[in-house]
Structure 1
Amino acid sequence: MKKFFILLLKPLSFIPALCMMYLIFSFSGQSGAQSGALSQKISREIVVVADKALDKNLDETRIQYYTDKLEFPVRKAAHMTEYFILALCVSLPLYVYGVRGIWLILLAGLISVGFACTDEFHQSFVDGRGPSKRDVGIDSIGAFIGILFIQITCHGFLHPSDS
């Protein structure tokens, strides 16, 4: 009976990866104006919180200045973070299935980077958006950091005597 439940539950371990793919796909489906407004809102919130924490009392002009300066790094950090999380959600179930070492890096990398490519292609059909090789590169960096994190963490915690 235990083997039956394991056989039944193992495929469900990929549900978080599918949910993350849906979330990324949803963000990519936003128009350029919607995406830009979201980045502005998040960047502004960071500046406002930092202003309060550092007790700088910035006026509205300075807040907008720093918000504009911060928007690009926030957008790229969001890309990297999305794909870091996706890679975690893909790598962990693969690790549970016994995929290890270079094969984990290659398979999880292929899935994550492949999704990044198809996601950028998807953006070419969205108003005010377009595909970007740079974004695929940034997504790939986040993905490979996530894959390596799973590889190192699982090896360290699950096989401590091998070290």
Structure 2
Amino acid sequence: MSTCDTPAPATACSFDPRELRKAFGQFTTGVTVITTRAPDGRRVGMTANSFSSVSLDPPLVLWSLARQAPSVCDFQGASHFAIHVLAAGQHLLSRRFSTPQQDKFVGLDCAEGPAGVPLIDGVLARFVCRNVRQYDGGDHLIFIGQVERCERFDGEPLAFHAGYYQVTVRHPECV
């Protein structure tokens, strides 16, 4: 058995929340659209960059949603959701799902996954997940999904950094 010294938890921070948000924004992320079928049958979707892999065995992922988001109850009550990793040219799709509108799916080609979850075509990767757990994350709710199906397609990713959409390029020393 090994032990390690861990620092004591930090005390309350005294900094400007806007500066914290800007510092968080320095971490470049991918961009996802997360979809589900609400308990009342509506298709629901939102843009998120809080997606992360958790485990290969069992296959788990996580993402978070603001507690005040209009769709929080829809995702809490859903048995499944799908995470769509967006490709470089899909910034308009990201914007569509990041703004409040009645039906974000109008005009989109979508198949239906488990429990009627909308599956958006043309994305870089897709994870169809069973909604297995939710955890308190302060002003957010953290969702854990067990991946039941994944698909991967060729292309370049859409990235988000410092409040702007970005495209990635390979580092010249790693070509």
Please give the TM-score of this superposition, normalised by the length of structure 2.
Answer: 0.23
More helix by percentage? 1
Computing the radius of gyration from Cα coordinates, the structure with the larger value is 1
Q: Which has the higher contact order (CA 8 A, sep 6+)?
A: 1
